[in-house]
Structure formats: structure tokens, C-alpha cells
Structure 1
Amino acid sequence: MSTHVWLIIAAIVLPLAYFVWSLATIDRKGIVAINTNLGSGFAQGAGVTIQRPPMLLGVARKLTPGSYEAKLDHWLALAGRPKSMPLTKLIAIKPMMAAVGALFSILLFVANPSPTVVGFGLFLSLFLYFIPDLLVYNQGAKRQEAMKMEFPNTLDQMLISVEAGLGFESAMERASAQGTGPLAHELMRTLQDIQVGRPRQEAYEALADRSTVTDVRSFVLAVIQADKYGIGIANVLRAQAKQARVKRRQNAEEKAMKLPVKVLFPLLFCIFPVLFIILLGPAGIRIMEAFS
């Protein structure tokens, strides 16, 4: 093989070997010790040993820019921070996925060395590297859509509770306890932040940061302004609930108007051809038989 072929193989094999070596040198004894200490607890005055992070995670953090890591953390916040995919695991698994793509590309290149295979290998490695991002972003988008659908009903429950004599936080707690969706989870988390001593305004702003729904963000802003200027929270909830119901009706009407356009292409390319074949097929066969 020529020199440039060996250079391409080295450019793929050396990073892959480094990642495999990093994965093999993880401090597993330290991880076991951490789990044991978390399960049993420390005695008062016992010494605490600071454990170094796994080498693969350290290498992955060095390869990941700070702004990109902050964006991943924001996407995880929008997705509800799933327990199966924390930020450290997400950062560590991305180079491993790229390494899998590189290994598959090497096998293809050994079987058929060509520039096309090299380009395909680079594309495959990049695609596998960004697959976790796509999954987290998709989960966050679905969660935000569920929050958008849940918001009007939750706001109505809070309004009823406030008009019945409960305080705003008590109404929020009741709505979060009765709800089962992501918005109820976010409200409960906001209440927990307030209970541990976080300022109310900061806790409300954190709720807005964990959501991309315009209605939720405007609601949080209205609550902050009402708390700052002493406006009655019942009036704010009443206005926000009315606006949420109007927007929900408008969204339903908008989706109904878009439905004929979305159905047009399946009708033209899937249903109409089959219908024409069923209706005109026998006549066409008879015409062909008559002329033959």
C-alpha cells in the first residue's frame, strides 16, 4: 500500500487505540470504594479520599469545548435530566461511539481501500458522535411539547386552588401533586428549590430556564412581577389561564387548517394511484385485449 494509505490508517487507528487504552485504565477500585462509602456512610471525623475521575471521562472533557458542554447540559435540563444519561456519561459515550464508527471504517478500508470509503468512514464517525445529542434533543423537544399541552389544565387547577383560599405555593404544590406530566415535575422541583433556601425569584427563573414553552416563560415572568410589585396573584392566574385557553383553541384551529395540506400528498401519491388502478385497470385490460 502507498504512503498516504498508511497515513490514513494511522490517523484512524491511533486515536482509537488511545480511547481503548483510556477505557481499560479506568479506576474501577475507586468506583467500587465510592459506591461502598455512599451505601454505608462515613463515621464522623473519618478521612475522605478525593477520587480522580475515570481517564476516559477526563479525555472526553478535554476534547469537549466548554460552550458545547454547557449546551449539552442545557439540553439535558430540557429533557428532564434522565437518570440513564447524566452529563458525564453523555460526554464519555460520545467518543466511544465515534471510535466504533472508526473501527468499522477501518474494516471497510482494509477490504476496499479507496477515498470513498475514507469519506464514508469520516461521515459515519461524525454521525455516531452526534447521535447522543440527537436523542437528548429529541427527548427534550417531546418533553417541552408535553409541558405545552399540560400547561392550561395545570394553570386552571392553580387558579381554582387560589380562589379557594390557598396560597400560591400551596396551589402549586397541589397542582404538582395531582399532575403526572413533566410540568408537574418541574413545579415540584421549583418548590423543592424554595424549601432548601433558594430565593423565590431565582427558583422561578430557573423554572423558566428549564423550559422553552413561551406560555410557561411568560407565566413565570408575570409571577415574578406580581411578587415584586405586590399584585394579587389570583388576578395574574386568572389572566394567564384565560390567555392559555385562547392559545390552546388557536393552536387546535391552526392544526385543523394544516390538516388538508398534510393529507394532500398521501392522497396524490398513495391512495389515488391505487384507486385509479382498481377503477380503470379492468377497462384498460379489455381495451388492450380488443386491440390485440
Structure 2
Amino acid sequence: MDHLLELLNQFEVNEQLFFLGFIMVSTSLAVMTVAFIVFGVKSPLKRKLDEIRKGADSHKLKKNSKIDNTLESLAPMMTPKSSKERESVRHQLMHAGYHDADALTIFYALKIFSFIIGLMAAAAFYYFAPDLKNLRLAIIGSIATGLFLPNIVLNRIVKKRQSKIRGGVPDALDLLVVCTESGLGFNSALRRVADELMISHPEFADELDTVCAKIKAGVEMSDAFEDLVERTGVVEITGLVKMLAHSSRIGGSISQTLREYTEDFRDRRNQEVEEIAAKIPTKMIFPLLLFIWPCFFIVAIGPSMLSLTATLGK
């Protein structure tokens, strides 16, 4: 045992061999990725299935369908075994507007590509900047960035889309009130609002169009709106869903319900704006202390201090 410890202590890592091994691992992963794509595109089974689909006059294949199918062979490398984590990522993709069945597969395949790019960036740091002080930190940071970059981008897309949907809710409510009070039924009014919002708020208009299609297919109005909340992740619409469900259950006036909810929603938005405005003076203290007040003191007290030091110096 002591002899083995002495051998381990005498062992020295050759940096050149380490770099070559690192390049070999990155190149092997890149070659494996290209091989998966090539074999997926040239798969006889998939070509036969495509011929059967064309012969049966089913839906036309998209131009990028081959690439989408080959990504299925890459995704299991990064797909987590936990079903809870997979469902969380699936909900994030749904909130971002990706409702396709293969969205999860494409996401994990993109994580593989970004991870390989991170490995290549780490190899470039090791080769072109070996004298960098924080070389290990740069290598670990590039690999971590390549691994978690798709999640960061997905979170930003989700927040941006939810913000756009929240911005379209007040206009949609006002239009719904006008349409229902003018005599249109709720389904017709919802369809009209979806058509009107297609230019100003296309994301929310697309979701309302899905709600209209579900209601037309026979889904209950409350269930269709609950699916809307689940698809978008915008919890602000939950109150509207509950009010509409209660109104349809007791047979109340939907137009009056919408008007009352619109007023409450407008008051809530005004309170949120007032809360943000009340926080501004507190947030401005630190920029004032760091950037504005030093400049003010230099301009106000600087000349008098210079003249005072000149006088005392004489």
C-alpha cells in the first residue's frame, strides 16, 4: 500500500497529453453526433415509413422532418431519468409556446450540441490561453455554460412570452365587455376578440383561438380556460376563469361578470404600478450615493477646497 502511494505521488501529469486527451474526447463526441445524424437520416426503416405515409396520402412531411427524426436518437443521452424533471421542462416548453410532441426531444438534443460547443470552447481556452490566471475557472465556466445555456434561454423565452400575454389581457377584457354588451354570445365575442388581437397581441390571440376551438369541440368553458392557464402559466387569468365558471353555473350575466372583473383587474394593475412607483425612491438611493452625490460634492465643494488649501499653503 505504501509503495502504491509513493508511485501516485511520483506520478506527474503531462499537460500536453492532458490537452490531447481533452481534444480526443471532444472530437469523439462530435463524430458520434454526426454519425447519429447521418445514420438517422439514412435509416431504411424511416425511409420506408415515409414512403408508406406518402402512399397513403397522409399529411405532407416538413422540409426539416428528417433532422427532427434524427434528434430522437440524440436526446436520450441528456434526458434525465426523473419523470418530475422531464415534466417540469415540458411545462416550460409549453409556456414558451412549443406545443409539439417532439419539443422535449429537440430541447435535449440541443443541450447535447451546446455541451459539445462548451467542451470545444474549454479546449480553445486551454490551448490558446494556457497562461491565463483563472484557466480552470474559464474551462469549468465554458463547460457549465454549454450545459445550462438552453435552460437559461428557455427561461428568458418563457418570461418574455408571459409578459406579452399579460400585456394583452386588459385589451382583451375591454373588447370582451364591448362585444358581449353589444349582443354577441360569449363564444362569438371570444372569436372576434381573438381576430382583433392578432396584430397587437399575437401570442394571446393564438391562445384565445385555441380556447375557441376547444369550446367549439365540446369542451366546457371553464375547462378550456383552465387549460389556457396551464398552457401559458399566467396565473392572473385564474380569477377570470373562476368568475366565468361561477357565472355559467348559476346562470348569471356574463357581460356583467366581465365588467366587474375588468374593473377589479384595472384596480389591481393600478395598485401594482403604484407599488412599483413607491419602490423607486428606495432603489434610487444607491445610484445617488455611488454616482451622483460624489460628483455634486466635487463641483460644489471642490473650488472652495482648492482655494482653502492654496491659502493655507501660503
TM-score normalized with structure 2 length: 0.74
The answer as to whether partners of 1:57 and 1:91 remain within 8 angstroms in 2 is: no
- Alignment partner of 1:22 is 2:33: yes
CA contact (8 A) 1:222 1:236 kept: yes
In the TM superposition, what is the alpha-carbon distance from 1:188 to its structure 2 partner? 1.6
* 1:153-208 alpha-carbon deviations (Å, 9 max, x no partner): 31121012111111111111111222221322211222233445655444322201
Query: Partner of 1:287: helix, strand, or coil?
Result: helix
User: Residues 100 and 43 (structure 1 numbering): CA distance in 2 closer, same or farther, change over 3 Å?
Assistant: closer
Equivalent positions of 1:49-64 (< 5 A) are 57-64=72-79
Matches within 5 A, 1:51-200: 57-65=72-80, 66-81=83-98, 86-109=103-126, 112=130, 117-179=135-197, 180-181=200-201, 182-195=203-216, 200=221
Measure how far apart 1:233 and its partner are.
Answer: 1.9
Is 1:16–1:102's contact at 8 Å kept on the other side of the alignment? Answer: no
C-alpha spacing 1:89/1:253, structure 2 compared with 1 (3 Å): same
Question: CA separation in 1, counterparts of 2:246 and 2:76?
Answer: 40
Is contact 1:78–1:211 with CA below 8 Å preserved after alignment? yes
Tell me the equivalent position of 1:261: 282
Partner of residue 54, structure 2: 42
User: 1:114, CA displacement in angstroms?
Assistant: 10
Identical pairs, percent: 24
Partners of 1:239 and 1:205 in 2: CA distance:
20
Quote how far apart the aligned CAs of 1:250 are: 0.8
Q: Distance in 1 between matches of 2:263 and 2:196?
A: 21
In structure 1, stretches of 5+ residues that fail to align are none
The Cα shift of 1:282 comes to 2.0
| Amino acid corresponding to residue 137 of structure 1 in structure 2 | N
Query: In 1, Cα distance between the equivalents of 2:189 and 2:42?
Result: 48
Root-mean-square deviation (CA, aligned residues, Å) is 3.8
In 1, Cα distance between the equivalents of 2:237 and 2:152?
24
Report the count of equivalent residues: 285
Residue equivalent to 1:210? 231
**What CA distance in whole angstroms lies between the structure 2 residues aligned with 1:192 and 1:19?**
44
* Native 8 Å contact 2:78 2:112 kept in 1: no
How far apart are the structure 2 equivalents of 1:97 and 1:52? 17
What residue is the counterpart of 2:12 in the other structure? 2
* Contact kept in structure 2, 1:105 and 1:118, CA below 8 Å: no
Of 59-68 and 135-144, more deviation after overlay is shown by 59-68
Greater mean deviation of Cα atoms: 256-265 or 100-109: 100-109
Shift of 1:224: 3.1
Q: Distance in 2 between matches of 1:95 and 1:149?
A: 35
Is the Cα contact below 8 Å between 2:71 and 2:106 reproduced in 1?
no
Distance in 2 (CA, whole Å) between partners of 1:225 and 1:144 is 26
